[in-house]
Amino acid sequence: MNGLPALLGLSEPDLARAVAEVAPERYRARQLMTWMYERRAASFAEMTDLSKALRERLAEKFVVGLPTIVSRTPAEDGAEKFLFELADGARIEAVYIPSENPEEGAPRRITICLSSQAGCALDCTFCVTGRMGAGRNLTPGEIVGQYLAIAKERGIGPHEANLVFMGMGEPLLNAGNVLRALDLFEREVSPRKITISTAGVVPGIDLLATRTRRPNLAVSLTAPDDVLRSQLMPVNNTYPLADLFAALRRWPLEHGRRITFEYVLIKGVNDHPAHAAALAKLVRPLSSKVNVIPLNESREWLPGLQRPSEAAVDAFARDVEKGGVPVTVRWSKGLGGNAACGQLKGRETPRHSPKAAAARLAKPP
C-alpha cells in the first residue's frame, strides 16, 4: 500500500477531516463512505462519479485499505476460508459460511467469521490460534475490511450477512477497535445480527455493555469449574468464574435475547455426565443457551486432544438439556478447509509449544 494512510475504518467526521485538503466539499466524506461500504470499492479508480482529477489526487495521498486476499480455501460444505495479508505483512484468516440446505425461495443465510487480532495471547488448550501466541490488535479498518473483501468476492449485499467475532484473537482484548468497527458495521448490519465471542474478559464485557445498541454476547466456557477451566483456558486465572458470572449478571439483556455459552467438548476431559450437570447448574440462572461444539482436532497443533464420538456428544447435550438449559450441538462448518471453529491461524508454525498446553491437562486437578 506504499505506506499511504488508509481511509477504511475512519468514521465519517474523521474521514472528512482526513481528506479536507484534497476534497473540501462537505458531501465528499459521505460519498466516499458510500463507495467503500455500500458499493465495496477497493480503489479510488472504481469511484466513477468522482472526477478523474479528484480520484488521482486521492490516490496520491491515500489508499482505501482493503486487505489483500492471499488465498481462498473452499470446504466441501460450501464454507470458504480467506487468508488476508495486511499492510505490515501480518496475516489473518476469516471465513465465509453459507446456510445449510436453504429452502427454495427462502432468502440465503450467510455468516462471516471475523478476526480481531493477528494471533492470540490467551493460549486456550483446544484452539489452534492459541498456539500462535500473541499478535497485534487489528485496526477498525482491518476488521471491517475482512467483511467488505469477502462481501465483494461473494456478491453479498447490505443487510444479507450475520457477523461473528469468532476468528483469530480475543475481541475484548481489542475492545476499543472492535467497538469502533461495530459503529461502522451499523451502516448495514443490525447489532442483532452480530455476535461477539469472548473467553471471559470481564472489563471488555462491562465496556461492551455500555453501548446503546449491543450485539449478541457469546462466552467461551468449556468447563463448569475453576480448576478445569484454568487448565483449559488460562484466562480463568485472571477472570475466574465468580467474576465472569457477576459481569454476565450485570449485562443488560433485552427481552427475548439470551447469552450463548460455547462449550468445546473434548474426549475424556470435559465430557462426563457430571460436567454436564455442573454446566447446567452454573448457567441455568441466566437467560442463556449452550452451544456444544465437538472439538475440531489437529494432530500437529493440538496433540493428544480428541473429539468425542457422536453418541457421546449427543448424550452430553441431552444431559445438559435435562438440567433445564436449551442446547444446540454445533458441528462446525469448514472443517475440510481448516476453517472450522478453533482452526484459524494465518501461519504455518506455532510460536507456543503445543506440548506445553497438552501438559497442563496431564496435571491432576
Q: Could you list the active site residues?
A: 93, 341
Report the C-alpha gap between 54 and 46 in whole angstroms: 12
Report the C-alpha gap between 146 and 92 in whole angstroms: 9
Range 321-334 burial, b when 16+ CB lie within 10 A, else e: bebebebeeeebbb
Query: In this structure, what C-alpha cell is assigned to residue 345?
Result: 491461524
149: three-class secondary structure by DSSP: helix
Range 91-123 burial, b when 16+ CB lie within 10 A, else e: bbbbbbbeeeeeeeeeeeebbbbbbbbbbbbbb
Report the C-alpha gap between 87 and 68 in whole angstroms: 8
Query: Nearest to residue 198, comparing CAs of 211, 189, 209?
Result: 209
User: Do residues 249 and 243 lie in contact, with contact meaning Cβ atoms separated by under 8 Å?
Assistant: no
Angle at 118 between CA 334 and CA 158, to 5 degrees: 60
Report the C-alpha gap between 328 and 182 in whole angstroms: 27
